[in-house]
Amino acid sequence: MTPIAQLAIIQVGIPLLLILLNAVVPASSWWALGLRALLLATGLAWLILGGTWLYPPWWTPFVLVVLALASFVRPVLRLSRRGTTRRRGWRWSETTIVALLVVAVVALLVVPAAAGRSQPPGAVDIAEPLDPGAYYVTSGGSRSAVNRHLLTSDSDQWRGQRRGVDLVKVDGLGRRAHGIAPADPAAYYIYGAPVISPCVGTVAETRADLPDHRVPDTDSDNPAGNYVLVSCGDYEVLLAHLQHESVVVRAGDHVEIGVPLGKVGNSGDAAEPHLHVHAQRRSPDPAKPFAGDPLWLTIDGHFPVRNRLLRL
């Protein structure tokens, strides 16, 4: 099963099933119905805060909110006309089960996702790394619930990416590509987008020889793919997964903010075209250029968190 299909089942299929059950299964009491409302509210809160909306688009959970509200019309009318059920055991069972589910969703999903939206102190601020447009943050934030990069081992040679950010470009309807999950990387709106220097500095390293693979293939042997590593004074910024032979700078070149570096591609460990950005201290080991201490970053003062739409 593809990642897009898995996301569709978890983030759309299951919520729709719960909304349907709420509409057709009579509530045993007003307390039970209130807890149902709380369960749907917390679940939808997680979808908005922590879901990954590659397909369908980022606005889908707000449609689910409308459907969830509509699903309460029938249960409310039924309770108003018939009252609570006479089966006391069923009333207690439904109330207890739904209450436990609410606690689990809040503790395991909502709280970590909400906490990940807080900006930690000490973040370095970089300029926009892409041309003007609308960009959706697929991975970013201060908790692993919203930022998969935080799962990177602190002892790994790629530890510099632990506080990284992934960006895809979206159109006015929130779509990131022509189709659901096209295999051709050129079908993605961000593919070929110019990548520009986010700071004044010196190019530390580059790579441009790796091919752009088809979606959802990956190259785990070369996680960064084609890239440009820019030294911005006391920290470095990596811009990764660039297009084959698109890099136009070389190590040692001086760059200003906005100077073209290359184009977004689909090289390295990228399941689909996106721009990976992270900040780090210079690595103590020249043979492991991405092993520097990871740094939090902001883009023009904005902390990039999953599900945030950045209009650059």
The residue among 24, 146, 4, 42 whose CA lies nearest residue 13 is 4
Q: Over the chain, what is the mean pLDDT?
A: 95
Q: How far apart are CA 168 and CA 264, in angstroms?
A: 10
At 233-251, the pLDDT tens digits run: 999 999 999 999 999 999 9
Q: How confident is the model at residue 155 (pLDDT cuts 50, 70, 90)?
A: confident
pLDDT for position 92: 80
Average pLDDT over residues 40-56: 95
Res 164 pLDDT > 90: yes
At 133-152, the pLDDT tens digits run: 999 999 999 999 999 999 99
Res 88 pLDDT > 70: no
Average pLDDT over residues 276-286: 96
**Percent of the residues in the chain that have a pLDDT greater than 70, as a whole number:** 98
Res 63 pLDDT > 70: yes
Domain with CATH 2.70.70.10 in the chain: 124-311
Average pLDDT over residues 194-204: 98
CB neighbours of residue 45 within 10 Å: 18
Strand-pairing partners, residue 125, are: 298
Res 84 pLDDT > 80: no
Res 222 pLDDT > 90: yes
Q: How far apart are CA 62 and CA 47, in angstroms?
A: 9
pLDDT for position 141: 98
Greatest CA span in the chain, whole angstroms?
79
Q: How confident is the model at residue 94 (pLDDT cuts 50, 70, 90)?
A: confident
- Which amino acid, residue 181? A
CA angle 208, 166, 57 (to 5 degrees): 125
Average pLDDT over residues 84-111: 86
pLDDT for position 86: 61
User: The tokens 């909110």 sit on which residue?
Assistant: 65
Give, in order, the Cα–Cα distances in Å from 276 to each of 12, 120, 174, 238.
27, 20, 20, 8
Average pLDDT over residues 7-23: 96
The residue among 194, 199, 219, 59 whose CA lies nearest residue 131 is 194
Helix (H/G/I), strand (E/B), else coil: 237: strand
Res 212 pLDDT > 80: yes
Q: Indicate the pairing of strand 201-207 with strand 254-255.
A: antiparallel
Please return the burial class of 256, using the count of CB atoms within 10 Å of its CB with bins 0-12, 13-18 and 19+. Answer: exposed
**Percent of the residues in the chain that have a pLDDT greater than 90, as a whole number:** 90
Of 21-30, 122-131, 252-261, 291-300, least confident by mean pLDDT is 21-30
**CATH number for the domain formed by residue range(s) 124-311:** 2.70.70.10
